[in-house]
Structure 1
Amino acid sequence: MRPVLEAAGLGVRYRRAWALRDCSLAVPAGRVAALVGPNGAGKTTLMLAAVGLLRPSRGGVRVRGEVAFVAQDKPLYESFTVAETLAFGRRMNTRWDDRAALDRLGTLGIPLDRKVGRLSGGQQAQVALTLALARRPDLLVLDEPLANLDPLARHDVMRTIMAEVARRELTVLLSSHVVSDLEETCDWLIVLNGGRLQVSGGIEELLDGHVALTGPVELAGGGSPDGKPVAGGLGGAAVVSASRTPRQVALLVRGAPVLDPRWRARRPGLEELVMAYLRSPESAALPGLAGVGA
């Protein structure tokens, strides 16, 4: 499927430091992509480059179609009423869908005559999201859309996003530090770590391609130079991360291992997969480009 967002050798440098380096990825149309990584990993830098607010130092990034962006601080004019905010959006966008914006805010019970600064945090997030969706974008980019929201507001925002994805072929790229917020909504995963792309691909394919193993400590061989246990008898499987207690060794491996019967194997969860890669910056799983046609 043709990608909506595509980066090739993308690099962004701030003075002497690289915020993003050698990033090549593709997100297919209609996907909801989770962008995950620790603080300083380059998530916001990637988003700003994708929406044209930051010029790459190297390589390039391309979006097919229209893009809308909601920054983490959800910038709105607090002195405007909601109606005035919609009127401003209407004047600034030729693709504006006024009926959809009014219907969405009416369903949410957000009064048009109230000043934005008097809305709750969840209501402000919904107004910012409504402005972005009313532009009828092909790609919606959301930087920490759930930050500082209570659980109910987080649920309402994600429900709004998924309803729009279901209504039309909208592609979404959203970042979050809370992987549990993404498990039921996202179907594509991008992991950035230290300014480099570490994981990119469909979530189900990634989970199917990994195995979590636990077994008695004698299954681990000697220690590696970095102090991690090294397990033998895994065939062509690559060890992504490993940990060991006095009695047990736990591994996350990529590929189909040939197992000693003493290993207990299971499919990993999304958060387990993400944390394993973040703890092992030298590991990578990048099947996404091969699976997306240009």
Structure 2
Amino acid sequence: MTTSPHAAHQPDTAAAETDDVLRIRKAGKRFRSGWALRDLTLTVRRGSITALLGPNGAGKTTLLRAVSGLLDLTEGTVSFNGRQVSSTGTPERISFLAQDKPLYRRSTVADMLQIARHLNVRWDAALARRLCDEAELNQRARVGALSGGQRSRLALAIAFARRPELLLLDEPLADLDPLARLEVQQTLLSTVAEQGTTVVLSSHILGEIEHVCSDLAVITDGRVSLRGETDEVIDGHTLLIGPGSEPAALQWIPREQLVEVRRTPRQTAVLLEGPAPLPPPGWSAERPSLDEIVIAQLRRSRGTAVAGLSDLDSAPTREAS
């Protein structure tokens, strides 16, 4: 629901010539406690829904705040539609919804819509009312009396009513029960399809991201460690399942493709980047889930996944499935 005067912009010709609505180059942000972002480069396709995934402290919220013009980078640039974003304010066609969903709890739903209408140059009152009606929000109900799911849908209605070209969402599903999560997802997907809005959202809920987001970026230690269209990322990995094996029996696995090995006495699971070699008898090749890929990449970034076949003895184990 962030509003402000137009941000100062500087042309970015290279970004303008692409179909990337957002281009982040070598972004770094340093606080007193250290670097939250460091040498982060990312592009976001126009019309995509991109998930920012990563552990707490990885830099996801810092990145969203920099893109929204709420803080300056220490180094690097953020460009929106070919123009550089600065901290003079959120550009008119960007809408940022923070994790705490800043709504006035003593105000009614109707009051919140009126406040938002007066604060925003671009405002679609009919869209806001329709989204509230679809959420069955009582216009006279106070925001503080709404459920978490209802507050999220009210905040989304206000964010979409600004008619943004780029919508930034910080953990929009984090505090919702499964039913409210599904309802918010449906609102997000249907409105994005209708409006053609580009969305970047941060999340810890990996299983549901696969069904909502077209693109993903895994951020670890302030950098992007994995990036791509969701289906392409999944198709670009192979999960091999076989019997419990000693390291010496796994020498056929190509080291350069290895992401992670998980062993139990009865089963070995090997995640590879790219197509798998012809496995020996007793092994099968499967399409991994997004959860398996992202978690393995996070483990690897922390040094807890196997980096090479010589390290198999120290690999963490996974329950056989």
Q: TM-score range by the shorter chain?
A: 0.7 to 0.9
TM-score, scaled relative to structure 2: 0.81
Alignment correspondent of 1:260: 279
Does the CA-based 8 Å contact 2:240-2:269 persist in structure 1? yes
Corresponding residue to 2:260 among 235, 238, 241: 241
Structure 1: distance between partners of 2:265 and 2:177: 41
Q: Does residue 1:79 correspond to 2:98, yes or no?
A: no
Does the CA-based 8 Å contact 1:237-1:256 persist in structure 2? no
Alignment correspondent of 2:184: 157
User: Residue 128 of structure 1: CA displacement?
Assistant: 0.8
User: Residue 141 of structure 1: CA displacement?
Assistant: 0.8
Q: Does residue 1:62 correspond to 2:89, yes or no?
A: no
Task: Choose 86-95 or 234-243, whichever is displaced more.
Answer: 234-243
Q: Which runs of 4+ in 1 moved over 6 A?
A: none
SS of the residue 1:110 aligns to: coil
Across the aligned residues of Structure 1 and Structure 2, the Cα RMSD in angstroms comes to 1.9
**Percent identity (aligned):** 44
Does the CA-based 8 Å contact 1:3-1:29 persist in structure 2? yes
Structure 2: distance between partners of 1:72 and 1:138: 20
Where do residues 49-128 of structure 1 align in structure 2 (5 Å cutoff)? Answer: 49-64=66-81, 66-128=93-155
Structure 1: distance between partners of 2:236 and 2:255: 13
TM-score, scaled relative to structure 1: 0.88
Q: Does residue 1:32 correspond to 2:59, yes or no?
A: no
Q: Residue type matched to 1:257 in 2?
A: A
Structure 1: distance between partners of 2:254 and 2:261: 16
Where do residues 171-186 of structure 1 align in structure 2 (5 Å cutoff)? Answer: 171-186=198-213
User: Residue 184 of structure 1: CA displacement?
Assistant: 1.2
Does the CA-based 8 Å contact 1:11-1:20 persist in structure 2? yes
Does the CA-based 8 Å contact 1:95-1:136 persist in structure 2? yes
Structure 1: distance between partners of 2:232 and 2:204: 22
Q: Does residue 1:274 correspond to 2:294, yes or no?
A: yes
Does the CA-based 8 Å contact 1:82-1:115 persist in structure 2? yes
Counting matched residue pairs gives: 275
Does the CA-based 8 Å contact 2:239-2:285 persist in structure 1? yes
SS of the residue 1:38 aligns to: coil
Structure 2: distance between partners of 1:137 and 1:214: 45
* Structure 1 runs not aligned, ≥5 long: 223-230, 284-294
Q: Which protein, 1 or 2, shows the higher relative CO under an 8 Å CA cutoff with sep ≥ 6?
A: 1
User: Residue 79 of structure 1: CA displacement?
Assistant: 1.8
* Structure 2 runs not aligned, ≥5 long: 1-17, 82-90, 304-321
